[in-house]
Structure 1
């Protein structure tokens, strides 16, 4: 009796990283991107948005299937934390300098809503595709 050779893992199966380490790394990268964006420009801008969306996609592809939930809730919380930290420390980076913390947070979230929506949608879509693929093709 001959067994079929094991096929290589597809993109949908390749994620094996535990969520804890992946989320800590993603958080550090997002904070670094925010700081770099502030150094290079007057406020949080397109560079941060692109890094945010990229990190959302990479997270969805690299974590193991048992850790889909933490990755699925990470993007909006990460955006909120970064914008809130900036609203507290440098409100002019995300809003008008005279705005309070709450107003600066809301303004910052609204000005980066497209990046949040696209990054979050891509993350959730990739997690869904991975879940469906793994259910249809168990190893």
Structure 2
């Protein structure tokens, strides 16, 4: 019996919490570089966000799909809220309060959020389907015991 090589869709084996931590670190790094290059959060952050969302979905192990599936909106919210607190002028008008700056920042980066989130969910769906086709059963799901 020959073993088939693993495809791109089957290669993710990293724990969800590690993937989430790496994604947040990469986004904070991109945010820092983007702000060093200009006054506002811009295209560099948006492109990094979309790339990180897709890569996170490819890296995570199947049991942790949920963790990465909810990561994009939470990571975007955390990034924008952090800037709204520390430097509101980077995502909104300088005189805006934290809530208004957060909402303005999210709306200003909504296209990147939607593309990144759809890409992430799409990659997770394809990975789940490939695993189902290979094994005959869906990807293992983590249960919440309480």
What is the TM-score with the length of structure 1 in the denominator? 0.96
Separation in structure 2 between the aligned mates of residue 95 and residue 25 of structure 1, nearest angstrom: 27
SS of 1:96 mapped into structure 2: coil
Q: Comparing 110-119 with 18-27, which one deviates more in the overlay?
A: 18-27
Alpha-carbon offset, residue 94 of structure 1: 0.1
Residue 42 of structure 1, aligned match among 36, 39, 48: 39
Distance 2:74 2:18 in 1: 17
Does residue 83 (structure 1) correspond to residue 80 (structure 2)? The answer is yes
Deviation beyond 3 Å, 4+ runs, structure 1: none
Offset of residue 42 of structure 1 = 1.1
What is residue 32 of structure 1 aligned with on the other side?
Answer: 29
Cα distance in 1 for partners of 2:121, 2:19 equals 16
1:6-47 CA distances to partner (integer Å, 9 max, x unpaired)? 011011111111111111111111011101100001110000
Pair 1:55 & 2:52 matched: yes
Among 125, 128, 131, the alignment partner of 1:131 is 128
Unaligned runs of 5+ in 1: none
1:23 to 16, 20, 23: 20
Matched positions, count:
136
Aligned partner of 1:65 in structure 2 is: 62
- Does 1:117 find its partner at 2:111? no
Q: Matched residues in 2 for 1:138 and 1:13: separation?
A: 11
What is the Cα deviation at residue 85 of structure 1?
Answer: 0.5
